[in-house]
Amino acid sequence: MNTDISSEHFETIIIGGGQAGLATAYHLKRLGRSFVILDASERVGDAWRNRWDSLRLFSPAKYDGLDGKSVPGPRHDFITKDQMADYLESYAQELQLPVRSGVHVDRLTKHGAGFEVSAGGRRFTSDQVVVAMGKNQSPKVPSFATRIAPEIVQLHSMEYRSPAQLKPGGVLLVGAGNSGAEIAKEVAHHHPTWLSGRNVGEIPFRVGSFLGLNLLAPLVVGGLFHRVLTVRTPIGRRARPKVLREGGPLIRVKRKELKGLGVKLVGRTAGAENGKPVLDDGQILDVANVIWCTGFHAGFSWIDLPVLGDVEPIHYRGVAQDVPGLYFVGLEFQYSLSSEMVYGVGRDAKYIAERVAERARQITSKALQEGEAGDDDPSRHPHGAPVLTIQP
């Protein structure tokens, strides 16, 4: 590491200025701790702005607000992705949260008893770090995509904005989860459409109906997702590996609805032959467009610490037990099935903020005690903070 580069030191660095980072910041501020938020986007909320144009949140607005500020407007509205982006931006501004935008972190490593964060030519150090980002950072596309003919338009769901990007002709959506189903519903009005992938199941009611909004959504979102399917219940611990591996059920779009629009529900896309996609039953699809709704790589390779597992970072409720002072917020099923939803991230953020604040108080107390004792041990943290471990 180039030690000639000037650095700034903070008690805590939060990496990521989306809902997870802002929720964590809110609770740290309430606890009286100092911190900074580093975010790669130019504006708070850009992660939402840069999704497909017609996207609306799956949950009613009453479930979409962070602690300290509700989403404006009717409680039962399904807000747009741009409304969510603007809400997050106003949240950061009104609560005066210290967000530094346009800071793309490219490495996180140890620095004495704390951490060093590198962002291009900038360098930051801290006693603690909260990685407030979901694992959906880097688009995942199968290797055989390179064998599909160049005249066929290929987009990942992260790149898709509207049907205007597509060529005339058929559209194959690979991946039958929520993103694939939502986009299939949209493009089916303009193109012959195939939705490829296994049946992931679906919520057995319409979330926008009177019964769904007033009875079933509270029971499912507020009850089942938030309180029952957690790492502390046997049913939650059994469900968690399957959710991490396969994702959750369809929430808004029903398979019957897709069939009614003429969408052909087909099996897995297994490869490419003569430049065209091939299904697992050998059927070759003559389409003009392929949209990959195949998920993401975790995108945590910039974390140069012994915390990365095969599927997710190694943690319990967001606490990296093998790396004291490192935490995560915003992970899928971090504590419950609602953890990746706006509704659930606040609880996880509060839990992590409390762990951060507790450890910060212990660091300060220990430093004061050692200072009073005249301890000049050079092995101590350069800012006077020894390593302490907080149990989750």
Q: How far apart are the C-alpha atoms of 253 and 157, rounded to whole Å?
A: 16
Co-location of 144 and 292 in the same domain: yes
Number of structural domains the chain divides into: 2
Co-location of 290 and 302 in the same domain: no
Report if residue 193 sits inside a domain: yes
Are residues 134 and 331 in contact, defined by beta-carbon separation less than 8 angstroms?
yes
Report if residue 216 sits inside a domain: no
Helix boundaries (H) for the chain: 19-30, 46-49, 81-94, 178-187, 210-211, 217, 234-246, 255-260, 342-372
**Tokens standing for residue 128:** 């603690």
Report if residue 16 sits inside a domain: yes
Looking at the DSSP assignment, which residues form a beta bridge with residue 9?
125
Are residues 59 and 35 in contact, defined by beta-carbon separation less than 8 angstroms?
no
Report if residue 71 sits inside a domain: yes
Residue 248: per-residue pLDDT: 84
**What's the angle, vertex CA 306, arms to CA 303 and CA 307, rounded to 5?**
70
Residue 340: per-residue pLDDT: 87
Of 134, 95, 103, nearest to 119 (Cα)?
103
Are residues 318 and 27 in contact, defined by beta-carbon separation less than 8 angstroms?
no
Helix (H, G, I), strand (E, B) or coil at 50: coil
Mutual angle of helices 342-372 and 19-30, in 10-degree steps: 40
pLDDT in tens, the chain (392 residues): 444 467 899 999 999 999 999 999 999 999 999 999 999 999 999 999 999 999 999 889 999 999 999 999 999 999 999 999 999 999 999 999 999 999 999 999 999 999 999 999 999 999 999 999 876 668 999 999 999 999 999 999 999 999 999 999 999 999 999 999 999 999 999 999 999 999 999 988 888 888 888 887 888 888 999 999 999 999 999 999 988 888 888 989 999 999 999 999 999 999 999 999 999 999 999 999 999 999 888 789 999 999 998 888 999 999 999 999 999 999 999 999 999 889 999 999 999 999 999 999 999 988 888 877 665 554 444 443 433 333 44
Report if residue 234 sits inside a domain: no
Co-location of 73 and 151 in the same domain: no
Residue 280: per-residue pLDDT: 96
Are residues 86 and 44 in contact, defined by beta-carbon separation less than 8 angstroms?
no
Looking at the DSSP assignment, which residues form a beta bridge with residue 291?
155, 173
Co-location of 99 and 133 in the same domain: yes
Residue 208: per-residue pLDDT: 85
DSSP class of 51? S
Report if residue 238 sits inside a domain: no
Report if residue 359 sits inside a domain: yes
Co-location of 24 and 112 in the same domain: yes
Are residues 320 and 326 in contact, defined by beta-carbon separation less than 8 angstroms?
yes
Co-location of 36 and 169 in the same domain: no
Residue 389: per-residue pLDDT: 38
**What's the angle, vertex CA 141, arms to CA 262 and CA 294, rounded to 5?**
45
Co-location of 311 and 368 in the same domain: yes
Q: What CATH number does the domain containing 193 carry?
A: 3.50.50.60
Co-location of 182 and 281 in the same domain: yes
- The 3-class secondary structure across 104-122, one letter per residue, is CCCEEEEECCEEEEEECCE
Residue 182: per-residue pLDDT: 96
**Tokens standing for residue 235:** 């049913």
- 367, 13, 8, 93: CA torsion to nearest 10: -120
Report if residue 260 sits inside a domain: yes
Q: Who's near 275: CB < 8 A, 6+ residues apart? A: 147, 148, 149, 152
Residue 5: per-residue pLDDT: 61
Co-location of 144 and 281 in the same domain: yes
If one counts every other C-beta atom within 10 angstroms of the C-beta of residue 255, the result is 17
The upper half-sphere exposure of residue 136, i.e. CA atoms within 13 Å in the direction of its Cβ, equals: 17
**What's the angle, vertex CA 209, arms to CA 224 and CA 244, rounded to 5?**
35
Q: What are the distances in angstroms from CA 40 to CA 46, 92, 345, 383?
A: 9, 15, 20, 27
Helix (H, G, I), strand (E, B) or coil at 148: coil
Q: How far apart are the C-alpha atoms of 316 and 328, rounded to whole Å?
A: 9
Q: What are the distances in angstroms from CA 282 to CA 147, 207, 266, 273, 274?
A: 16, 37, 11, 10, 13
Residue 206: per-residue pLDDT: 85
Co-location of 292 and 308 in the same domain: no
**Tokens standing for residue 80:** 């747009």
Residue 313: per-residue pLDDT: 93
**Tokens standing for residue 263:** 């969408």
Range of 352's domain?
7-137+298-372
Co-location of 176 and 255 in the same domain: yes
The total number of residues shown for the chain amounts to 392
* Dihedral angle sign, alpha carbons of residues 99, 104, 108, 114: negative
SS3 content of the chain, % helix, strand, coil (to 5): 30, 20, 50
Q: How far apart are the C-alpha atoms of 26 and 346, rounded to whole Å?
A: 9
Co-location of 178 and 70 in the same domain: no
